[in-house]
Amino acid sequence: MMAPTDECGVIGRWRITQADLWDQNYLDLCGPATLLIAADGHGEIGFGALQAGLILEFAQTSVFFEWDGFDEMDEVRGSGSATLQEDDQSPEIDFNFHNGDQATLKAVKI
């Protein structure tokens, strides 16, 4: 499943623009909602009151990740994936809290 990172189309900085569980005001609560996928196997995500670091596994059009961080000062962790959509080459992000919410996010390149 591991593709060379230079071939992964999800590497970059993305602006989270939509979520199935939250509105844009919540997503941008503490600043613009963003996802960073870095070629070194690490990343970051921030939306609402959540700030988390990502450990990444790469495929050609997707990444899979484990994450941990803080949400409203509580330690949280989970897993997820970001997969480029064929129609617009923007990722759909499946974001899962351990023993909690599961959300689908959409993003655009910045």
Comparing CA positions, the residue from 49, 47, 53 lying closest to residue 24 is: 47
43 closest CA partner among 30, 55, 61, 28: 55
Residue 1 is predicted with a pLDDT of: 46
Structure confidence at residue 7 (pLDDT): 76
pTM score, two decimals? Answer: 0.91
Q: Cβ(54)–Cβ(42) under 8 Å?
A: yes
* pLDDT for residue 50: 97
Which of 15, 67, 8 shows the shortest CA–CA distance to 38?
8
- C-alpha distances in angstroms, 20 versus 58, 91, 101? 25, 14, 11
Res 6 pLDDT > 80: no
Report residue 89's pLDDT band, with 50, 70 and 90 as the boundaries.
confident
